[in-house]
Structure 1
Amino acid sequence: MKTISHKELIVHILVWICISIFPLFSAYIDLGKIPSEMYLRLSLRPILFYANYLVFVPYLLLNRKLLLYIFVSIAFLILYNYVSEELITNTITREFRDFPKPPNMPAGPFGIRHAIPVVFSLSIFLLGGIFSLVVDFYKRDRESKELENEQKEIKLQFLRNQLNPHFLFNSLNSIYALVRSKSDNAPEAVITLSELMRYMLYEAGDEQVSLEKEINYIKNYIALQRLRLKNTEAVKLNIKGETRHLKVYPLLLISFIENAFKYGTDYKGNTQIDIKIIVDNNKLHLYVENIIGLYKRDDKNSGVGLENIKNQLNHLYNNNHQLTINESKTHFKVELTINLKENEMYNN
């Protein structure tokens, strides 16, 4: 059976008090006294409302038992009106009536004396059904949104689980190359990698992080790549704008930069990458351009790279981002704009 919360109970009580005060006040003005049968009628009306609100609609109508709902509703209304009008009102309150029946009032089962209470009872009964349907609609809508958010979180976590091993695999390859060549930069590379992994494990969760921390993470990654590669004079990083008071979802930008380092080295060993991060008016602009060098992109087997990050952007930033990717025979260029302020309002 449908339950009513504590707050909802208070609202129901206040509404019924307001509904009851008006007819009682009107009767007192017209008659100078409130008939005792009016108290009885008002006290019985919630039975109509809550029978439909708590029982008939949830258990019959919402379970697609339409014919049974109609039959039970009609039977209940007939029984209610018979009991309230014939047994209770005419028997119990007869001795307390001070006002004789007007001589011209139609009598019999189809008179106005019976028709008006029937109309009122039907209205209250239908009102309970409408309220039940409205409450059920909002409940289902809320549950649908919660389920949709849970599904998005599960998918997003799956995408991130793909991304992290992919990043770790490439970073270990970089350090392996330094160790194998007996480079003096190998210890520094291990320390840098440990900083990267600490950020990924302990700070880059499901919630947004400081944009400043995310940029420091990118700086460490680029520093690691500079240690691995031979000729990195053409690797440029330019950061402009205020980043301290803005937040961003973690590990979104690194895939574009990682992709640039993977494919941005020519046959002579020269790496040419231009990275710009500009923050202006709460908008983050990322520009990444690299040459297409030794390694050719394999869209079929590189799977967890750019397609992964596109899916994450669609889940996290919806319509608050714009991504443009241009590829020529010699260069690969990425332009990403994220409206950080609007996205924060959207998620709240």
Structure 2
Amino acid sequence: MIFRDYKNTFRVKEILIHSFAWLCLASFPLFISFSIVNELHPISFVRVLLPPILFYVNYMLLVPNLLLKKRIFMYLGASIAFLIGFEVLALQIPTLIPIDQLELSQNGFLYKIRYVVIGFALTAFFLFGGIVRLMKHIYIRDKALQQKDIRKTRTELEYLKAQLNPHFLFNSLNCIYSLVRDNSREASNAVIILSELMRYTLYESNQDRVLLSKDIENIKNYVSLQKLRLSNSEKVHLKIKGDFDKQRIAPLIMMTFIENAFKYGTDFDGRTEVNIVIQVIGNHLFFDISNLRGNRNIDKNNSGIGLNNVNGRLNLLYPHTHRLEINKGNNIFNVKLHLTLD
């Protein structure tokens, strides 16, 4: 639908541009003819029609029906035959105007090469029509491919979002379950925080871009939720630097790394050590997170969902404006992300 609307708009612009161009082009020879003979001979209007006829025969008939269908030899043969026939006919038109009115000496250079000049000019209009049509074809083809890529990208992003939201909520619910199982007094507070997380995930994260301030607020809530279940919450540090009130970012990009840090960096006794730094300098965001590796077994079937997801989203949303580094040491897992914000 979008591409069809674009084609209609392009068609209207094309008609307007062509009409204006031919109007200007026709006015010039008519003005010259009137200046020479002090009148507009009817044959002058006939001559004005020759260039557009040549142009559109190639533009609307020969190129789309032969050349673009790769019938190259047929196109060349038809073009040569048409040009020869048309120019033979066209060369008879000037003889209808008395030559003495044109004040050209029959011994002059211009008079002697008049047929060459006329033939060259007519051939130029014919070739120009073909060139313009080829340029139009290439432009429309590239635009169609661009629209196709946009639709593909949107489909992939929707799939990744649909995959990411359950992944995020599943990890949050695990946290609530741990608190309820331990009869923690913080369970009710955790439910309130979870409701805020769910509101952001279900409503805000459906947008292509959100305010960075809201995304960071969501991160604060998530970190607060995780601290409730940890036995050494003082080992969790979140530092935020810079002015981010007016910046926008794709939602939940940083959250995936934070989730993994808590999920795989916590041991069976509920101990972990997570350090998160988010810094904004101008329109550049620097995200750094490191965590101690926990002693729990990692489910290889599910552990890659979040990282693969966010890596795919980064490639789609920030194809040339992000740098991601993942370092897996013996005991420390570290992620560094640099984003150029929109």
User: Which consecutive residues of structure 1, in runs of 5 or more, have no partner in the other structure?
Assistant: none
CA RMSD of aligned residues (A): 2.7
Cα distance in 2 between the residues matched to 1:50 and 1:194: 65
Q: Equivalent residue of 2:206, what SS? A: coil
Alignment of 1:277-288 (within 5 A): 277-288=278-289
Deviation of 1:272 (Å): 0.9
Is this contact kept in 2: 1:105–1:113, CA < 8 A? Answer: no
What is the rounded CA distance, in whole Å, between the counterparts of 2:136 and 2:215 in structure 1?
43
Q: 2: CA distance between counterparts of 1:296 and 1:30?
A: 95
> How much has 1:31 moved relative to structure 2?
4.9
For the residue of structure 2 that corresponds to 1:271, the secondary structure is: coil
Match in the other structure for 2:11: 5
2:230 equivalent to 1:224: no
Q: CA deviation at 1:83?
A: 4.6
1:181 and 1:234 map into 2 onto residues whose CA distance is: 21
- 1:70 match: 76
- Which is further off, 16-25 or 30-39? 30-39
Which amino acid counterpart does residue 318 of structure 1 have in structure 2? P
1:299/1:35 CA distance change after superposition, 3 Å: farther
TM-score for both structures, normalised by structure 2: 0.87
Q: CA deviation at 1:26?
A: 3.7
Aligned partner of residue 236 in structure 1, secondary structure: strand
In 1, distance between residues paired with 2:240 and 2:323? 19
Q: 1:211 offset after TM fit, Å?
A: 0.3
Q: Provide the C-alpha distance between the structure 2 equivalents of 1:45 and 1:264, rounded to a whole number of angstroms.
A: 76
Ranges in structure 2 where 5+ consecutive residues have no aligned partner: 1-6
Among 8, 13, 24, the residue aligned to 1:18: 24
How far the C-alpha of 1:318 sits from its partner, in A, is 1.6
Equivalence for 2:4? none
- Given that 2:231 and 2:269 are in contact with CA atoms closer than 8 Å, whether structure 1 keeps it comes out as no
SS at match of 1:305: helix
Q: Which residue is 1:57 aligned to?
A: 63
* Match of residue 148 from structure 1: 149
SS state at 1:253 partner: helix
> 2:182 is aligned with what amino acid?
S
Show the counterpart of 1:253: 254
2:3 match: none
Name the % identity.
42
State the 1:314 CA deviation.
Answer: 1.6
Distance in 2, matches of 1:196 and 1:301, equals 22
TM-score normalised by structure 1 residue count: 0.85
Q: Deviations over 1:65-102 (max 9, x none)?
A: 1122222223333443355455xx38xx84x6474797
Question: What SS class does the counterpart of residue 63 from structure 1 fall into?
Answer: coil
CA distance in 2, matches of 1:210, 1:203: 9
* Residues 105/147 of structure 1: CA separation in 2 closer, same or farther (3 Å cut): farther
Which AA in structure 1 matches 2:58?
N
Name the CA distance, whole Å, in 2 between partners of 1:281 and 1:62.
49
Aligned AA (1:150): R
